[in-house]
Chain A
Amino acid sequence: DTEVTQTPKHLVMGMTNKKSLKCEQHMGHRAMYWYKQKAKKPPELMFVYSYEKLSINESVPSRFSPECPNSSLLNLHLHALQPEDSALYLCASSQEAQSSGANVLTFGAGSRLTVL
C-alpha cells in the first residue's frame, strides 16, 4: 500500500460547525503533515507530526486542531472556521521528519473544504 487516503473528499460547513478531516497511511511512515492550498497557489505547511508528536506548528490559528492518534492516522479538527479558510487541505507522509536523503513526501488527494 503506497497511498495516503483522505476523507472526506468534499466538506461544506458553516462557521459554527465542528467537523474533522481524516488522513490514513499504511506505509510505515513516521512523519505526517497537513498542508493548506488555496486556489492557484502552492501548498503551505500547517503542521508536522513526527513519531506521533507535534513537531511543527506554522502559526496556525487555534480553530484548526491537529491530532495524531497513532502512527497511521492524522486528523484535523475544525471549529469556528471563517470563509477564508476554504481551501484544499492536503495530508502527506514521509519516512521520517528529521532525516535527509530518501525523505520524500507522499501526498493524499486532499479534502476540499468550503466554509459558508
Chain B
Amino acid sequence: AQSVTQPDIHITVSEGASLELRCNYSYGATPYLFWYVQSPGQGLQLLLKYFSGDTLVQGIKGFEAEFKRSQSSFNLRKPSVHWSDAAEYFCAVAPGYNAGNMLTFGGGTRLMVKP
C-alpha cells in the first residue's frame, strides 16, 4: 500500500520569502502525486498534479513541485509567499491504475505567513 509523509507539521515564513514544503511517498511503482490546499473551514483545492512526463510541474497561484524518483519526493515550492497563502497543505498519492478512490493523504503542513 502507498503512504505519504509530510515531515513538517508547521512552517512559518515571512511574506515575500521563498517556500518549500516537503513530501515523501512510498509506493512500488510510479505514483500519481497531488498537492491540495485547504483554507480554514474550507474544502480542498487542487494546486497541481504529476502523472508523467516533465518532473517539474506548474500549478495555480504560482506554485510548482518537482518529482524526484530517486528521493521518493514531491516537494512544493513558491518563490515569494503572499499572506493569502496561509493555509493547510496536503500532499497525496494514488496508484496509477485507480487514482480516484485510492487517494492517500499525508498528515498536512500548516503554513503561517508573517507580515
Place the interface of chain A in its size category: 20 to 34
| Chain A proximity mask over B32-64: 1 for CB below 8 Å, otherwise 0 | 101010000111111001010000000000000
Partner of A31, one of B49, B96, B101, B106: B101
CB nearest neighbor in A for B41: A112
Place the interface of chain B in its size category: 20 to 34
Partner of A97, one of B43, B101, B106: B101
Cβ < 8 Å to A, chain B residues 88-107:
90, 96-101, 103, 105-107
Residues of A with Cβ closer than 8 Å to B? Answer: 4, 6, 31, 33, 40-43, 45, 48, 50, 55-56, 88, 90, 92, 94, 96-110, 112
Residues of B with Cβ closer than 8 Å to A? Answer: 32, 34, 36, 41-46, 49, 51, 90, 96-101, 103, 105-108
